[in-house]
Amino acid sequence: MTKRRDKRLMGQAYWLALWNHGLTGNNPSVGCVIVDAHGTVVGEGVTAEGGRPHAEQIALDEAGEKARGGTAYVTLEPCRERSTGEDACSKRLTEAGIARVVCAVADKHPKGAGGFAALRAAGIPVLVGIKKHQIAPLYEDFFVQHG
């Protein structure tokens, strides 16, 4: 993948995140785009109204087996832990066979932080900071209240 393609697909994830911004309860609105190993978009998701399901879960459900070997573009660090006891997004990405994760913003929330470490421990390369300056303002209020 090229840096230009990474920026374009992160921009697509950003627009998804904007759709439910302010409608996701105590959770932030996250956008996620999954591309297959050939670079074709196979799944998209945005955190649902009320905060569940998470964007990654929706995008992975849409992508199915096509996610294996692909890349996930996520506006906020995939969570390390879920308050509901469900599988964390970092675990879901790993189990789906995602080969690479591109993310804009690291999560400062105690249950979110650590998702990058979990992905890297599973051998998945993580690129952080693509379009960070554009996307970070979406999460400022969330971090003040929950970070």
Measure the CA–CA gap between 22 and 109, rounded to whole angstroms. 17
The answer to whether the CB of 21 falls within 8 A of the CB of 46 is: no
Measure the CA–CA gap between 120 and 91, rounded to whole angstroms. 11
Q: Looking at the annotation, which residues are catalytic?
A: 56
The answer to whether the CB of 13 falls within 8 A of the CB of 41 is: no
- Other Cβ atoms within 10 Å of 17 Cβ, number: 25
